[in-house]
Amino acid sequence: MSAYDFDLFVIGAGSGGVRASRMASGFGARVAVAEDTFLGGTCVNVGCVPKKLFVYGSHVPEEVEAAAGYGWSVAKPEFDWPTLRDNKTKEIQRLNGIYGNILANAGVELIEGRATIVDPNTVAVNGKQYTAERILIATGGWPKIPEIPGAEHIISSNEAFYLEEFPKRVMVLGGGYIAVEFAGIFNGLGADTELVYRGPLFLRGFDQEVREFTANEVAQKGVKLTFDTNIESVEKQANGELKVRLTDGSERIVDCVMAATGRAPKIDGLGLENTAVKLTESGTLAVNDDYQTDEPSIYAIGDVVGRMELTPVALAEGMALAKTLYNNQPTRVDYENIATAVFCQPNISTVGLTEEQALEKGMRLRIYTTSFKHMKHTLSGMPERTFMKLLVEDSSDKVVGCHMVGQDAGEIIQGIAVAMKAGATKADFDSTIGIHPTAAEEFVTMRDVTRVVG
């Protein structure tokens, strides 16, 4: 019998923590997981799930507008924010219950409360100490608010999901996934929306052509884009409005300022000073290829290690860790060709290398691109366009990057990610017969090279 209370003590019941817990328990380990907020972590509670529900809701006015071209006469829609907000919350509560059942059915002991690390093999929760052979940190990240005058009047995406009233005028600060997605959500739900970003163009790290195309589409849908600018201060007025001063000297009056300027590992007060765990220069937990920190008994996965901050990646890391430690099955996550999506409007999805990344690797590329109006909009009369791009390594004919901006981009790219993971070549794409009429068939009918680079 082990001298420890548990074989594995997991701090954080988000996607990665829950997956690691139940897998390890299934392999015979005695596992406990501590959580001080809600089960399911960022994704379920204040991330991908509620955000996607809001995205669906924000599309409705556009669908109503498009209906006229198909012969439908529909009254102007009226939006009730409390209905969307509260229906979303009910769904999140349902998912919280499911996560609780998953842990219980897997034989994992759930301990509700904030956990702190006492020493390399001891964790304290609610004044009680538990010993464990190994500790896993899976606490995720937390939004960062810029330190500027009036920062107390700025909300993060966390609060945006629970606003008491829906704002008429919104300023979103930031240029990443969350900022671009929420700008589309607020705009689609009827708010006068402006996105402010300190750089020259949002979505840094994505393919340059994708970024440029998306900026045009987002602006066309009504979001005001202000680049190379930052917020200098926010001042609350007597009537509750917010006066925002920008670094270019201009001012705006809005009802809500939301910052999406990055996230930091949620490790404050965790007790890392009682261990040999080290941080990287970016503030994430330093781990080796097996997610082990500099303290041999302590591991970490998910957003807290900052590799790819995506829910499916955290799930894969949790599974790999459990297999390695408790099933005698050494497993490492392959971070190549991981597909991702930005649920802005229109959607972006991508897998593999950007053009810029491929050129940095010294590849000679054949690039195929196409831009067209989706068949749906030939009758709707709406100006939205779709963009697709394939990057092919010329020497091997291998498809090394695939990018799409348009309706259902994530649904389409998921399948292509499988093909790329299997090493598909452009010849494989060309020999695949498309499904007609769909936007997706464009990926197997692009025959003409747009340009050759590298």
How far is it, in rounded angstroms, from Cα 162 to Cα 88?
10
How far is it, in rounded angstroms, from Cα 84 to Cα 436?
35
* pLDDT at residue number 13: 97
Can you list the pairs that 61-69 forms with residues at least 24 positions away whose Cβ atoms lie under 8 Å?
61/188, 61/190, 62/188, 62/221, 62/345, 62/382, 65/380, 65/382, 66/376, 66/377, 66/380, 66/381, 66/382, 67/380, 68/380, 68/381, 69/379, 69/380, 69/381
Listed residue (266, 265, 269, 268) closest to 280, CA to CA: 265
* pLDDT at residue number 75: 87
- To the nearest 10 degrees (0 to 180), the angle between helices 15-26 and 311-326 is 30
Write down the architecture of domain 340-448 according to CATH.
2-Layer Sandwich (3.30)
CATH topology match: 151-261 vs 340-448: no
Domain range list for the chain:
6-143+264-326, 151-261, 340-448
* pLDDT at residue number 1: 56
Selected from 3.50.50.60, 3.30.70.260, 3.40.50.1360, 1.10.287.890, the CATH number assigned to the domain covering 151-261 reads 3.50.50.60
- For the question of residue 374 being annotated catalytic, the response is no
CA 118 to chain centre: 32
Listed residue (356, 434, 358) closest to 392, CA to CA: 358
6-143+264-326 has CATH 3.50.50.60 classification: yes
How far is it, in rounded angstroms, from Cα 353 to Cα 85?
37
* pLDDT at residue number 76: 86
Per-residue model confidence as pLDDT tens for the chain (454 residues): 579 999 999 999 999 999 999 999 999 999 999 999 999 999 999 999 999 999 999 999 999 999 999 999 988 889 999 999 999 999 999 999 999 999 999 999 999 999 999 999 999 999 999 999 999 999 999 999 999 999 999 999 999 999 999 999 999 999 999 999 999 999 999 999 999 999 999 999 999 999 999 999 999 999 999 999 999 999 999 999 999 999 999 999 999 999 999 999 999 999 999 999 999 999 999 999 999 999 999 999 999 999 999 999 999 999 999 999 999 999 999 999 999 999 999 999 999 999 999 999 999 999 999 999 999 999 999 999 999 999 999 999 999 999 999 999 999 999 999 999 999 999 999 999 999 999 999 999 999 999 999 9
Question: Which one is catalytic: 153, 374, 377, 436?
Answer: 436
How many alpha carbons fall within 13 Å on the CB side of residue 135?
A: 29
Listed residue (422, 396, 252) closest to 336, CA to CA: 422
Q: pTM (2 decimals)?
A: 0.96
Three-state secondary structure call for residue 116: strand
